[in-house]
A and B are shown apart, each in its own frame.
Chain A
Amino acid sequence: MEANSLRLFKKGFSDGIPIGIGYVPLMVALGVMAVKIGLGFGISQLMYCLLYSGTGMAAVLNLVSSGEMMVFTYLLTFCIVNCRYVLLSISMSQKLDPKMSTFSRMIFAFFNTDEIFAVAMQQKGFLQTPYLFGISLFPFLASVVGMFLGLVFTNFLPASVSSAFGILLYAMLLALIVPPMRGSRAVSSVILLAAGISTLLECNPFIRRFLSSGWIMIACSVFTALLGAVFFPVDSSNKKEIVNEQ
């Protein structure tokens, strides 16, 4: 049992490494931004550790630099953007080891991110506690260190390099959603539909006038997943071909 936990922890830790590497340039950029708008070193790191969210931190920095005083407006926008976590967590709850303790679940919930979720959901079988703690460790440390680098060396990354790194996390998400498309009509349909609808809505100035991209993301995800459930219901008999385990 002990040896098995250690093995799972190590597997999780190595799965977390690419995610952590992806966070570094993003966090360097946020650190540089924090220095530019005159936030202190300690308070920037403290805020980041409380939030542990790149998009959240970017939102806070925008709030500070714009001198926005209405904390409530900001909270509301922030909630809308983060509504996706409810969907992701509900989906993930089905994949956790039923024996995982409430305490471990509460700890893991803090360290869960979009990317960790995406990688963990690709694993076969139930997710065990040691694996989840293992995968959580490196991304958190890497992003704190990344922000530190940005705060200390504001010219750490030349513009051409940080522009290129901008695509890294998105490319990683593509690396997670593209392979399951092979050989599964159901998954490809859902992904292509989501991509199409999301693009149509995001690029439509009329819709953008009253729907923020957070809302568009939620609406588009719920709609396509519903269509998937209607047209390609998953049960134990056809699970193998839809999941397309290789």
Chain B
Amino acid sequence: MDNNALVLAVFLMGGTQYLLKMIPLVFLKKKVENKFLSSFLFYIPYAVLTSMTIPEIFNSTSHVISASVGALIAVILGLMNQGLIVVSLSATVAVFIVEKIMNIF
């Protein structure tokens, strides 16, 4: 594929993605009054972010064992109400250490 076709494809992809993000933000200015609908929208972030994270997190490193340890650390620190940086960097360091140990054996 030549560069022009590629840039065109990227333009189309970027454009559709932008519309998906932009249209609800720009056109939904009214508060949803319906109780069922607003409850649904209240739970959507939790539902989407969970489905994005699980089970994908277990394949996010080079081994499922290191990824599981990292995920466990993140959940424990999350339950302890630690901040974003602490949780994400601790999980990363945990994965690094576990993989180093696994390499010894």
A interface list, Cβ under 8 A from B: 17-19, 21-22, 40, 43, 46-47, 50-53, 56, 59-60, 63-64, 67-69, 71, 74-75, 78-79, 82-94, 96, 98, 102, 105-106, 108-110, 112, 114, 117-119, 121, 159-161, 163-182, 186-187, 190-191, 194-195, 197-199, 202-203, 213, 216-217, 220-222, 224-226, 228-230, 232-235, 242, 246
Considering the chains assembled together, what is the distance between the CA atoms of A17 and B84 in angstroms?
10
How far in angstroms is the closest Cβ of chain A from B60?
4
Considering the chains assembled together, what is the distance between the CA atoms of A164 and B96 in angstroms?
5
Secondary structure of the A contact surface, majority rule: helix
Chain B residues closer than 8 Å to A69, beta-carbon distance: 1
Q: Closest residue to A216 on the B side, CB-wise?
A: B51
A79 with B40: CB separation less than 8 A: no
A60 with B75: CB separation less than 8 A: no
> Interface size bucket, B side?
35 or more
Chain B residues closer than 8 Å to A50, beta-carbon distance: 10-11, 14
Secondary structure of the B contact surface, majority rule: helix
Q: Closest residue to A52 on the B side, CB-wise?
A: B14
A180 with B10: CB separation less than 8 A: no
The listed residue (A60, A68, A176, A199) touching B10 by CB distance below 8 A is A60
The listed residue (A105, A164, A178, A203) touching B95 by CB distance below 8 A is A164
The listed residue (A18, A118, A182) touching B49 by CB distance below 8 A is A118
Interface residues of B in 31-87 (CB under 8 A from A): 31-32, 35-57, 60-63, 66-67, 70-71, 73-75, 77-79, 81-87
B60 with A110: CB separation less than 8 A: no
A229 with B91: CB separation less than 8 A: no
How far in angstroms is the closest Cβ of chain B from A46?
7
Q: A22-B88, A43-B7, A163-B62 are in contact. Are A84 and B48 (CB under 8 A)?
A: yes
